[in-house]
Chain A
Amino acid sequence: MSALETLAAVNITGNLGSIGYGLAAIGPGVGVGIIFGNGTQALARQPEAAGLIRSNQILGFVLCEALALIGLVMPFVYPVD
């Protein structure tokens, strides 16, 4: 039985892609929080390193966010039709 048939058998219907994105956003959510939390702490300890900290924050945020966005795009790659 496919995943959709299994879910429909227990009366869960809806867009599997949206559920997939929701699951994909858990990890990057935690990751981005860690990046900016630690970055804020570092900024508080040493405000003169603001430029260095900010550029590292942006780099880390973007690498983390990529996974959430791939999760957003995958349901369009494999549409349910």
Chain B
Amino acid sequence: MSADPTTVLAFETDCHIFDGCGFPAPGLHSFVFEPMFTLGGIEINKPMLLAVLSTVVVVGFFWAAFNKPKLVPGKLQMVAEAGYDFIRTGVVYETLGKREGKKYVPLMVSLFFFIWIMNLWAIIPFAQFPVVSVIGFPVALAAIVYVLWVSLTFKRHGFVGGWKNISGYDPSIGPALPFVMVIEIMSNLLIRPFTHAVRLFANMFAGHVLLLIFTIASWYLLNGIGIAYAGVSFVMVILMTAFELFIQALQAYVFVLLACNYIQGALAEHH
């Protein structure tokens, strides 16, 4: 009676409570996708397709908005300008200042909208998968920021100055200096990129698993007395979807905010 939950979607089986089959719980197997088709020798599966679609959406939206910019903006241009200005003034200029920040605005705007659209696929019907819950995507984005700020540190301060910046070298601390330097080096070079990527990944991973649990439970409970509980579970699906809407935008904003913070720390002058 029970089908293998790793290959068959829950609602394709006839497995309900009191039927004798166990609850087809979501797990890591829910995040592994078979390739859908092959394009030029590369196998494309669902997360990759959604990532490409996110790129198309972001590029298409900003192209359509800013292709023929008018002095008195039309509706699309106004919305795009509001989004662009939110990141530029609210995040980049706040942390980096206007003079330094000008160079990094395109990267930060692209990162924010790319991550936000990739997150949004989690609640859009037929897609329903947050692309960043595949660990490769946040790792790649965090690696871009990591390489950027490390190279900026060494370019701005030279080799010795770069290591002083990364280790937080400050002779006025006194005897605690070796400990502070070791902790700072570990924090800046190892732990911060790790948490930068894992924060985004774990938020979307946990949100997707929660949505999966309540959705599968709504189907699983549709048998006998379970129908009342299936209704409750479905209400939870709706609440979690609303919560996910908030978390998706917040995590994209925070990724960009922390990226700007790291760059600002790299460019900071020695006191």
Contacts and interface: CB of A to CB of B under 8 A. Distances in A.
B250 A69 contact: no
| Interface of chain A, main secondary structure | helix
B72 interface: no
Contacts of B203: 65, 69
Interface of B: 27-28, 94, 195, 198-199, 201-203, 205-206, 250, 253-254, 257-258, 261
A55 B261 CA distance: 13
Contacts of A70: 195, 198, 202
B201 A62 contact: no
Contact of B250 (A58, A72, A76): A58
| Interface of chain B, main secondary structure | helix
A58 B254 contact: yes
Contacts of B205: 72-73, 76
Nearest to A51: B90
A79 interface: yes
Interface string A38-74: 0000000000000000010011001001100110110
Contacts, number: 39
Nearest to B255: A62
B198 A66 contact: yes
A66 B195 contact: yes
A22 to B, nearest CB: 14
A79 B28 contact: yes
Q: Size class of A's contact patch?
A: 10 to 19
A62 B254 contact: yes
A15 B236 CA distance: 24
Contacts of A79: 28
A72 B204 CA distance: 12
A59 to B, nearest CB: 7
Contact of B206 (A55, A58, A62, A73): A73
Contact of B202 (A55, A58, A59, A72): A72
Contacts of B94: 55
A1 B118 CA distance: 45
A72 B210 CA distance: 12
A30 B202 CA distance: 20
A16 to B, nearest CB: 16
